[in-house]
Homo-oligomer: A and B are copies of this chain.
Amino acid sequence: MKQVAIGIDIGGTNTAIGIVDRDGNILYEKQPQVPTPQKKDNPKGSEIISEELLNDFVTLLAVEIKSAIDVVSKINPEIGVMGIGIGAPNGNYYSGTIEHAPNLPFVGVIPFAKMIQSKFPEIKTVKLTNDANAAALGELIFGGGKGMKNFVMITIGTGLGSGLIVNGDLVYGHDGFAGEIGHTTIGRGTRTCGCGGTGHLEAYCSATGMKRTVYELLAKYNDTQSELASIPFNDMNSKIVFDAAERGDKLAKEVFEVTGQLLGEALADTVHHLSPEAIFLFGGPVAAGDYIFKPTKESMERFLLPIFRNKVKILPSSLKMGSVAIMGAGALVWKELEKQGL
């Protein structure tokens, strides 16, 4: 029998569904992805509408999962589906619930894993966590974290997510929600964060944060020469900043410097907590390579206690942008089976 896991990742816009084997090969990936129900479909947060949207969504996912299994079974009739892993915003590993997710139209605490499970009574393992935690498990089971016992995964996108591996397992904490480094407070912090807080790391060190830094620096220097000065706020992204830096744009380079300095400062605090072997960076801005890695590393070292200096590697994630969602969710299943000794 060839063991496979179903991986599902519920994103703000789309939901990815795929099948991954124990070596990290993706055997199937639903294309196009399934649209995730939108907040605008339930703007007043009605519980009745929430329930309808939710039931329809779960039914649709179940159909897609079945069809995915069918497709893969036709190629390899020997497959055995060992479990379903789900990455979801505000996903609680212990209870399998999605709780008050700010970007989903579902109201309150949703027993999502149980709902999926009920559609597949023959599949014993259905587990759920947030996407950054799933990505950390992907790195642990399939990626650069293989064989490591202690590392940290940082996912940089619209926000900054994190997953912490301690003693070879993910840290879920008491309530299932551990690993929110993006909402730690950094020194100079005056920016408002998406969560309502102030000065959070994610408000600086994310694609959105970099965009904000572009305009903060333009305002600071009144820099009319930077090529970024001719681009509206709403059109800016980290790829544009990278391309400008590659062409020698001074301000664009400083955006990476500032972002790296603050990220390094925050990561030093993480090292002071956990003393990991490595910190993996994942996401769009990470493609900028040394522009972001160099200032991050330098700043982290500067803030570290001597005892931790030159010990902690900062590495690019070895997971691919397009496949991390499914591989992370699939890894959640494999980690679960490993814990059960299977």
Interface size for A (C-beta < 8 A) is: 48
Beta-carbon contact of A197 and B167 below 8 Å: no
Give residues 158-202 of A contacting B (CB, 8 Å).
164, 166-167, 169, 171-181, 183-185, 187, 189, 195-197, 199
**A272 and B149: CB pair below 8 A?**
no
Which B residues touch A306, using CB under 8 A? Answer: 100, 195-196
Determine whether A305 belongs to the interface, using a CB cutoff of 8 Å to chain B: yes
Q: How far is the CA of A197 from the CA of B272 in the complex (A)?
A: 13
Is there contact, CB below 8 Å, between A195 and B275? no
Bitwise, A89-121 to B at CB < 8 A (1) or not (0) is 010000000011000000000000000000000
Q: Describe A's contact surface by its main secondary structure.
A: loop
A306 to B174, CA, bound (A): 15
Interchain nearest-CB distance for A305 vs B (Å): 5
A44 within 8 Å of B (CB atoms): no
| Contact between B181 and A272, CB atoms less than 8 A apart | yes
- Out of B148, B270, B273, B303, name the residue touching A197 (CB < 8 Å): B303
Please state if B185 and A265 are interface contacts (CB–CB under 8 Å).
yes
Q: Which of A250-285 contact B (CB under 8 A)?
A: 265, 268-270, 272-277
Please state if B269 and A185 are interface contacts (CB–CB under 8 Å): yes
Q: Is the CB of A171 within 8 A of B175?
A: no
Separation of A169 and B308 alpha carbons in the complex (Å):
21
